[in-house]
């Protein structure tokens, strides 16, 4: 059974080393030294004012303690209004974003849409994904003025890029045979989408929508920083005034709502799948 081609006697007494992950020696060392050089350079160029950091530890401690004793009452009306605005923006933008994403997702799936439509829809998705929420919000605030409308538009726009891309991928990977069977029955295009495609991608659409709702809420919390409405403005004020207990209260509310949304989306996803 033993393999004659391999000289075992020659290997006995020889040290064994694990074959390296990167075979080429020069490449291995170049990457290693490069990474090391980068880390040193990066570390050198970060200016850390250690005495300031040290002073900050005291404030940090105060903040951690504030979490144990958050203040919901002093600015309760500000918090309530900001939270409501965040939630309203989240719900409205999710609804509109999802409604617009569905046709765009269909257009961005190569097995459903013709090439020109496909290219246009993919272009829209690419633009929406490349631009971050906060930058879009800045521009929209400049154009539409302060207020939740800018935030609503920002989140709707971001939802389109996220949802259309993932949904289009799902449509592209769907089971061809089921869709063909519907087509074979002489259905027109809309009927074909309704009967052949929709049932297959529906669970995923619902799951993704819930996930996006969750993301939209989290994002809505920062849009206020640039004047686009929501709880972010209240939070920013709290930090500016060093009112850590109010800030802690707001953060706790955000965490609880996100946890609640995650739990809800888990339940809903389990039901539709």
Partner 1 sequence: MLRLEKLVKTYKTGDQALKAVNLEIPEGQVLALIGPSGAGKSTLIRCINRLVEPTSGNVYLGDVELTGLSAGMLRKERRRMGMIFQEYALVERLSVMENVLSGRLGYVGFWRSFLRRFPQSDVDEAFRLLDRVGLAHMADKRADELSGGQRQRVGICRALIQNPALLLVDEPTASLDPKTSRQIMRLICELCKERGLAAIINIHDVALAQMFVQRVIGLRFGEMVYDGPPDGLTPDKLTEIYGEEDWEATIEAVDEDDLEAESAAS
Partner 2 sequence: MPVQDIKGQKIWQRRAGRESLFHWALWLIGIAVFAYCWQQISKSTTWFFVWDAPRIANDIWTRATPPKWEYITQLGKPIWDTLNIATLGTLISLILAVPVAFLAARNTTPSRFIVRPIALLIIVSTRSINSLIWALLLIAIIGPGVFAGVIAIAIRSIGFCAKLLYEAIEEIDETQVEAITATGASRWQVMAYGIVPQILPAFAGIAVFRWDINIRESTVLGLVGAGGIGLQLSSSLNVLAWPQVSLILLVILAAVVISEWVSAKVRGAII
Residues near partner 1 (CB under 8 A):
1-3, 5-6, 8, 11-19
Q: Which of 214, 235, 210, 240 is nearest to 225 (CA)?
A: 235
How far apart are CB 7 and partner 1 at their closest, in Å? 9
**247 lines the binding site for partner 2 (CB under 8 A):** yes
User: What span, in angstroms and rounded, lies between the C-alpha atoms of 228 and 141?
Assistant: 6
**49 lines the binding site for partner 2 (CB under 8 A):** yes
**262 lines the binding site for partner 2 (CB under 8 A):** yes
User: What span, in angstroms and rounded, lies between the C-alpha atoms of 2 and 221?
Assistant: 68
Contacts of 143 (CB under 8 A, 6+ apart): 150
How far apart are CB 127 and partner 1 at their closest, in Å? 40
**149 lines the binding site for partner 2 (CB under 8 A):** yes
How far apart are CB 19 and partner 1 at their closest, in Å? 5
* Euclidean distance between the first and the last CA atom of the chain, given in angstroms as a whole number: 52
- For residue 237, what is the DSSP state? H
Q: Which of 121, 99, 126, 209 is nearest to 172 (CA)?
A: 121
Is there a contact between 230 and 84 (Cβ–Cβ < 8 Å)?
A: no
Is there a contact between 133 and 153 (Cβ–Cβ < 8 Å)?
A: no
How far apart are CB 36 and partner 1 at their closest, in Å? 19
> Does an H or E element contain 65, and which?
helix 50-68
How far apart are CB 90 and partner 2 at their closest, in Å? 9
**28 lines the binding site for partner 2 (CB under 8 A):** no
User: What span, in angstroms and rounded, lies between the C-alpha atoms of 256 and 67?
Assistant: 13
How far apart are CB 74 and partner 2 at their closest, in Å? 18
Task: Please identify, using beta-carbon distances, which residue of 2 and 77 lies nearer to partner 2.
Answer: 77
Task: Please identify, using beta-carbon distances, which residue of 119 and 256 lies nearer to partner 2.
Answer: 256
**40 lines the binding site for partner 2 (CB under 8 A):** no
**Of these partners, partner 2, partner 1, none, which one is at the site of residue 190 (CB under 5 to 8 Å by kind)?**
none
User: What span, in angstroms and rounded, lies between the C-alpha atoms of 77 and 69?
Assistant: 19
Q: Using CB under 8 A as the criterion, which residues of the chain lie in contact with partner 2 when the complex forms?
A: 38, 42-43, 45-49, 52-53, 56-57, 59-60, 63, 84-85, 88-89, 91-92, 95, 130-132, 134-135, 138-139, 142-145, 147-149, 152, 218-219, 221-222, 225-226, 229, 232, 235-236, 239, 242, 244, 247, 251, 254-255, 258-259, 262
């Amino acid at each position: 059974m033993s393999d004659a081609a391999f000289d075992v006697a020659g290997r006995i007494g020889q040290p064994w080393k694990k074959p390296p992950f990167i075979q080429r020696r020069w490449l291995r060392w170049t990457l290693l030294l490069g990474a090391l050089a980068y880390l040193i350079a990066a570390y050198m160029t970060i200016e850390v004012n250690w005495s300031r950091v040290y002073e900050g530890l005291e404030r940090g401690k105060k903040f951690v303690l504030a979490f144990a004793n958050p203040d919901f009452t002093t600015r309760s009306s500000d918090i309530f209004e900001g939270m409501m605005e965040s939630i309203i923006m989240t719900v409205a933008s999710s609804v509109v974003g999802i409604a617009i994403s569905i046709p765009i997702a269909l257009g961005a799936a190569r097995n459903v849409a013709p090439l020109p439509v496909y290219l246009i829809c993919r272009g829209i998705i690419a633009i929406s994904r490349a631009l971050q929420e906060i930058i879009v919000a800045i521009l929209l605030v400049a154009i539409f003025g302060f207020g939740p409308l800018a935030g609503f538009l920002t989140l709707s726009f971001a939802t389109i890029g996220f949802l259309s891309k993932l949904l289009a991928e799902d449509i592209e990977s769907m089971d061809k045979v089921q869709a063909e069977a519907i087509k074979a029955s002489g259905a027109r295009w809309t009927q074909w989408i309704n009967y052949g495609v929709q049932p297959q991608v529906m669970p995923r659409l619902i799951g993704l929508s819930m996930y996006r709702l969750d993301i939209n809420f989290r994002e809505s919390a920062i849009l206020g920083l640039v004047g686009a409405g929501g709880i972010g403005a209240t939070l920013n004020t709290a930090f500016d005034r060093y009112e850590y207990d109010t800030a802690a209260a707001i953060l706790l509310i955000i965490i609880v709502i996100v946890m609640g949304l995650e739990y809800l989306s888990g339940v809903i996803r389990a039901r539709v799948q």
